Amino acid sequence: TWGGEEPLLLAELKPGRPHQFDWKSSCETWSVAFSPDGSWFAWSQGHCIVKLIPWPLEEQFIPKGFEAKSRSSKSDTRGRGSPKEKTLDCGQIVWGLAFSPWPSPPSRKLWARHHPQGPDVSCLILATGLNDGQIKIWEVQTGLLLFNLSGHQDVVRDLSFTPSGSLILVSASRDKTLRIWDLNKHGKQIQVLSGHLQWVYCCSISPDCSMLCSAAGEKSVFLWSMRSYTLIRKLEGHQSSVVSCDFSPDSALLVTASYDTNVIMWDPYTGERLRSLHHTQLDPTMDDSDVHMSSLRSVCFSPEGLYLATVADDRLLRIWALELKAPIAFAPMTNGLCCTFFPHGGVIATGTRDGHVQFWTAPRVLSSLKHLCRKALRSFLTTYQVLALPIPKKMKEFLTYRTF
């Protein structure tokens, strides 16, 4: 377990302002993302710009005393051929970002066989969702634009790649639809998912690639099948708009965050609500009746699946342990919009309304053997399959996260 030290600010990156920007451009950092292998960080720093930064950060960004902890031994081998920071000018305000997983070798061979002239998508790619409904697909290593995906009629708010490396991309838009694209087929649109009545804010694909969760400005959350692209169920329980969602690393849990100041933890297989994490005011000078102060903006799971990070309008980054109903640590952050964990743990990145990115220390945890077994089993067993096992009831409760 984690000793509960408060997160410390490791570094803060601020966008440069080299020339006078058009007054219509916005400066918010709507999205931050790490590549799944942890080698790149991207942030939409406002004014149509996305910054791509090799990770770990260069020494000049990191305060003294943190170098050893935050830099991996691999970074010492960076020579002259090391990756360089890149600036992608997207021509439109950037709302959503997603890195592809590293493609598996078979898809490379397939691609080469069927598309000898086609773009090489055997590289790490970054998808950017834009204000005009376009999605631009970039090659990370070179910073080159590979292609555009057109179809959405309004802002593309969120993007998510299937974690399997199949290069299926899901996009969520203010046009109230989600769209599924196949980047192995020149970005062909393969499905439009309709049903939301409000802007779609967030989409998240389960790590086992079986489910897709989407949250719009509605009280219910939609769960879709990634196999048939049909609606499995609606999750009802929030009292206000749901704005963020994330699956646990073993796909056994789903968390949703809402303007109603709650995070709800669900069993996505049964639709059961397992627990609620309520965000209460810490500052006694703030009036607790002003519920908007605790409106949530973002929620994400830690890579080992034992912690959550949340960003709310009450100027706090909170870290929660799954088994506890109260946060175990807080950090003060103003105007937070989004948060994400570094894929190998130890760091949380947050984005703010003024275009900044902050990096915070996060719990580096040694999972119990019990949890590691649960995670391994739940990666391929649904809740119903666990309940059908000939094992004691207490073990079933643990494996289905009813107990910790």
Instruction: For residue 79, give every residue at least 6 positions away whose Cβ sits within 8 Å of its Cβ, in sequence order, or none.
Output: none
Give 101-110 pLDDT, tens digit per residue: 975 554 444 4
Report all structural domains of the chain as residue ranges with CATH numbers, in order of start. Answer: 9-58+82-367 (2.130.10.10)
**pLDDT above 80: residue 200:** yes
Give 364-389 pLDDT, tens digit per residue: 888 999 999 999 999 999 999 999 99
How confident is the model at residue 169, as a pLDDT?
97
Tell me the CB-side half-sphere exposure of residue 227, using CA atoms within 13 A: 3
The string over 124-156, giving b where at least 16 C-beta atoms fall within 10 Å of a residue's C-beta and e elsewhere, is bbbbbbbbebbbbbbbbeebeebeebebbeebb
Give 217-229 pLDDT, tens digit per residue: 899 999 999 999 9
8 A C-beta contact, residue 219 and residue 234 = no
11-25, 130-144, 315-329, 380-394: range with lowest mean pLDDT: 11-25
Nearest 5°: phi and psi at 158? -150, 155
Q: pLDDT-derived band of residue 25, with 50, 70 and 90 as boundaries?
A: low
**pLDDT above 80: residue 78:** no
For residue 138 the two structure tokens come to 């970039």
The distance from CA 240 to its chain's CA centroid, rounded to whole angstroms, is 21
How confident is the model at residue 113, as a pLDDT?
44
